[in-house]
Chain A
Amino acid sequence: MERNQQLRRQLASMRQSLFDQGHLDEQFILLEELQDDANPNFVEEVVTLHYRDSARLITTIERALEKSPLDFNKLDGYMHQFKGSSTSIGAKKVKAESTQFREYCEAGNGEGCMKTFQLLKRDYATLRRKLEAYFQLARQAGPNEIACRPK
């Protein structure tokens, strides 16, 4: 029992830090509120779907950034899709970097695109790692109500 309580405290702390560090926004809370006994892994399922789809887009964008000259319309299109997917899980930092990238596309600024993309990939990987650890801990802690909304 005590071990379980410790796990839940750890889980709550992990979750809070994701918001405090600016990785997640309100959209993630919406997903948590939709999770119920009939769909106990809903949030993890949605996040898994997101990473499956977005990993493909990251590769596509990387390849497009290797081409010369850069096709800003195509890059913008790919990033538009990526941003939409990130928005749906509440990936706040990644969403902001996607917006920045698209602004550089509109300006035809290839260097800006590349620099922003490196930041985006870093934060994307960080969030993915943190969420994987979070869900792994959640499975250890067992089924329970998701931790309360951040104060």
Chain B
Amino acid sequence: MIGAEGASSSKKARISENPVSKNRPYFALVVDDDPMIRRIHSMILKSVGFKVEVAENGKEAVDLFRTGAKFHIVFIDMEMPVMDGIEATKAMRAMKVESKIVGVTSRNSETEREVFMQAGLDLCYTKPLTMAKIVPLLEELQKN
């Protein structure tokens, strides 16, 4: 699926060194109302071997878990229509969702990020996601 042929040498090295592509896949959920962000974050995660599903808002994410879907990790935006990231995270934790939940926000306010963390996040990152942010998370999943 990850097209190694024709890829740059740096991309080839990253993919071949990544144990996920050799062992069982990890499943990620990207929750964001911005289609561009969903596309970018999905591609970043797929490039390191995640299987990715997307949701457009918090309610869709919560509904996925309600129907029995399981993910190793969830990347969730803070501000979304219908149900925002804070409410969705609270709902997922109330459902005893054990996935790692990572908030992804463009907000710089410490107060807002703290409120988001308090909802039940494991981590909160500033958008956009980068390899430097994703790789340590993947390594942690592999350790556990």
Q: Which residues of A contact B (CB under 8 A)?
A: 27, 30-31, 33-34, 36-39, 42, 45-46, 49-50, 53, 80-81, 83-85, 87-88, 144-146, 148-149
**Binary contact readout B5-33 vs A (1 if CB under 8 angstroms, 0 otherwise):** 11110110000000000000000000000
Q: Kindly provide the distance from the CB of B115 to the nearest chain A CB, expressed in whole angstroms.
A: 17
Q: Which of B11, B35, B127 contacts A87 (CB 8 A)?
A: B127
CB pair B43–A39 under 8 Å, yes or no, is yes
- In the complex, which range does the number of interface residues on chain B fall in? 20 to 34
Apart from A34-B47, A46-B39, A85-B36, list 8 A-B contacts with CB within 8 A: A30-B130, A33-B47, A34-B40, A38-B1, A39-B3, A46-B40, A85-B34, A88-B40
Q: In the complex, are the beta carbons of B6 and A31 less than 8 A apart?
A: no
Residues on B with beta carbons closer than 8 Å to the beta carbon of A33: 8, 10-11, 47
> Inside 8 A of A144's CB, which chain B residues have their CB?
6
Chain B 129-141 interface 0/1 with A at a Cβ cutoff of 8 Å (1 = within): 0110000000000
Whole-angstrom distance between the alpha carbons of A145 and B11 in the complex? Answer: 11
> Once the chains bind, are B43 and A34 in contact (CB under 8 Å)?
yes
22 pairs, A vs B, C-beta closer than 8 Å: A30-B130, A33-B8, A34-B40, A36-B6, A36-B7, A37-B3, A37-B5, A38-B2, A45-B39, A46-B36, A46-B40, A49-B36, A49-B39, A53-B34, A80-B107, A85-B36, A87-B106, A87-B127, A87-B128, A88-B40, A145-B7, A148-B8
Residues in chain B near residue A30, CB distance under 8 A: 44, 130-131
User: Are B6 and A37 in touch, CB under 8 angstroms?
Assistant: yes
Q: Determine if B83 is an interface residue (Cβ-Cβ < 8 Å).
A: no
Contacts of B124 in A (CB 8 A): none
A42 CA to B40 CA, complexed, in Å: 9
Give the docked Cα–Cα distance between A32 and B52 (Å).
Answer: 20
